[in-house]
């Protein structure tokens, strides 16, 4: 069965680091979102994180905030996002991880929300403002729908919190590389290497690193520090929004290929 955990197992066997692009649903429009999902899937994405636009995206920097605002101004609703997913997911290899803030989940009720997203084939859920005290309930209910809930560790998390997250997180652990909001950074701090080592010492679960990664060299760096996955959001969202939808999709395709080849193992015995 396709699950995030199972896909990571097979990536590990092949000693591959996963690429997880993030895009915002409905920016510039839902048709382009569907095209982008197919393009990312065909060009090396191992999982795709799809953001549900939200009016108060407190963990997001300017690029993703602006994308969410544009998507909301277009009237993008969860139901419509799920409709395109119902259509697209059967043709994708990469499992879809839905990204949403906690309020929209509570608003619908945890169970009904999970039933809706499971029904269209979503495999994972990231909720950046989920209180750790409420994680167990969401994780358990999600598991009954075949959905894995990925928890986030921040550079400021206490050791107790890190231990609890490592224990509870499903699929993988999302290591946030910097304190602050999402967005491209010119450099990935060396500290990320230590954060990775510390986290690795308490868990065997796969670790994905996100926040601030936009360039192939940065992705490779994070891979070499031992990450099982690199997550790249703002760089994709920015490219997708530039120019016409066709131009945006071309730029997304190119970035996906560049990132993927940077983190892919050279086949043994290949020239160079
Ligand atoms: O945009 P960046 O810096 O590449 O970061 C990842 C990212 O976009 C995605 O995982 C994400 C988008 N919004 C978030 C809010 C919180 C945690 C993570 C996210």
Kindly state if the Cβ of 128 falls inside 6 Å of ligand 1: yes
Tens digits of per-residue pLDDT, 234-270? 999 999 999 999 999 999 999 999 999 999 976 555 4
* Residue 52 Cα to ligand 1 middle (Å): 12
Distance between CA atoms of residues 203 and 96, nearest Å = 24
* Residue 180 Cα to ligand 1 middle (Å): 11
Identify any residues that bridge with 224 across adjacent strands, giving them in sequence order: none
> What would the DSSP string read from start to end of 208-253?
EEESS--SHHHHHHHHHTT-SEEEE-HHHHHHHHSSSHHHHHHHHH
Tens digits of per-residue pLDDT, 49-102? 999 999 999 999 999 999 999 999 999 999 999 999 999 999 999 999 999 999
Kindly state if the Cβ of 231 falls inside 6 Å of ligand 1: yes
Q: Give the mean pLDDT of 177-184.
A: 91
Q: Which residues of 212-226 are buried (b: 16+ CB within 10 A; e: fewer)?
A: bbbbbebbbbbbebe
Which residue among 67, 99, 180 is best mutated to probe the pocket of ligand 1, counting the most ligand atoms within 8 A of its Cβ? 99
**Per-residue pLDDT at 184 exceeds 90:** no
Distance between CA atoms of residues 259 and 189, nearest Å = 19
Distance between CA atoms of residues 185 and 121, nearest Å = 33
The fraction of the chain above a pLDDT of 90, given in percent, is 94
Q: What is the ipTM of this complex?
A: 0.98
Between helices 110-119 and 78-88, what is the axis angle to 10°?
30
Tens digits of per-residue pLDDT, 112-134? 999 999 999 999 999 999 999 99
Closest ligand 1 atom, residue 182 Cα? 3
**Per-residue pLDDT at 271 exceeds 80:** no
Tens digits of per-residue pLDDT, 12-32? 999 999 999 999 999 999 999
CB–CB of 45/94 below 8 Å?
yes
Catalytic residue numbers, as ranges: 49, 60
CB–CB of 88/38 below 8 Å?
yes
Distance between CA atoms of residues 134 and 144, nearest Å = 16
User: Cα–Cα–Cα angle for 194, 236, 55, nearest 5°?
Assistant: 95
Kindly state if the Cβ of 234 falls inside 6 Å of ligand 1: yes
Average pLDDT, the chain: 95
Q: Tell me the domains of the chain and their CATH numbers.
A: 4-263 (3.20.20.70)
* Residue 97 Cα to ligand 1 middle (Å): 12
Q: Which residues of 233-244 are buried (b: 16+ CB within 10 A; e: fewer)?
A: bbbbbbbbbeee
Closest ligand 1 atom, residue 185 Cα? 3
Q: Give residue for tokens 């544009």.
A: 70
CB–CB of 239/39 below 8 Å?
no
Q: Give residue for tokens 């490779």.
A: 220
* Residue 85 Cα to ligand 1 middle (Å): 20
Question: Does the pTM exceed 0.95?
Answer: yes
């Amino acid at each position: 069965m396709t699950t995030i955990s199972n896909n990571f197992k097979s990536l590990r066997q092949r000693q591959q680091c996963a690429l997880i692009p993030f895009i915002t649903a409905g920016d510039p429009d839902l048709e382009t979102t569907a095209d982008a999902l197919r393009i990312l899937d065909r060009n090396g994405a191992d999982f795709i994180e799809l953001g549900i636009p939200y009016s108060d995206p407190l963990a997001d920097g300017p690029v993703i905030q602006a994308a969410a605002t544009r998507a909301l101004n277009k009237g993008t609703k969860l139901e419509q996002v799920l409709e395109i997913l119902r259509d697209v997911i059967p043709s994708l290899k990469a499992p879809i991880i839905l990204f949403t803030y906690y309020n929209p989940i509570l608003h619908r009720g945890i169970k009904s929300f999970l039933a809706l997203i499971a029904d269209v084939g979503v495999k994972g859920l990231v909720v950046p403002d989920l209180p750790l005290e409420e994680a167990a309930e969401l994780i358990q209910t999600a598991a009954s729908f075949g959905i894995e809930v990925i928890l986030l560790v921040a550079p400021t998390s206490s050791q107790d919190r890190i231990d609890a997250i490592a224990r509870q997180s499903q699929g993988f652990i999302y290591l946030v590389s910097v304190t602050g909001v999402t967005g491209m950074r010119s450099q990935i701090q060396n500290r990320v290497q230590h954060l990775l080592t510390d986290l690795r010492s308490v868990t065997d679960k796969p670790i994905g690193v996100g926040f601030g990664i936009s360039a192939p060299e940065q992705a490779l760096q994070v891979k070499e520090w031992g990450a099982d996955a690199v997550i790249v959001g703002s760089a994709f969202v920015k490219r997708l929004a530039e120019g016409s939808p066709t131009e945006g999709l071309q730029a997304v395709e190119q970035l996906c290929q560049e990132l993927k080849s940077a983190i892919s193992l050279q086949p043994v015995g290949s020239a160079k």
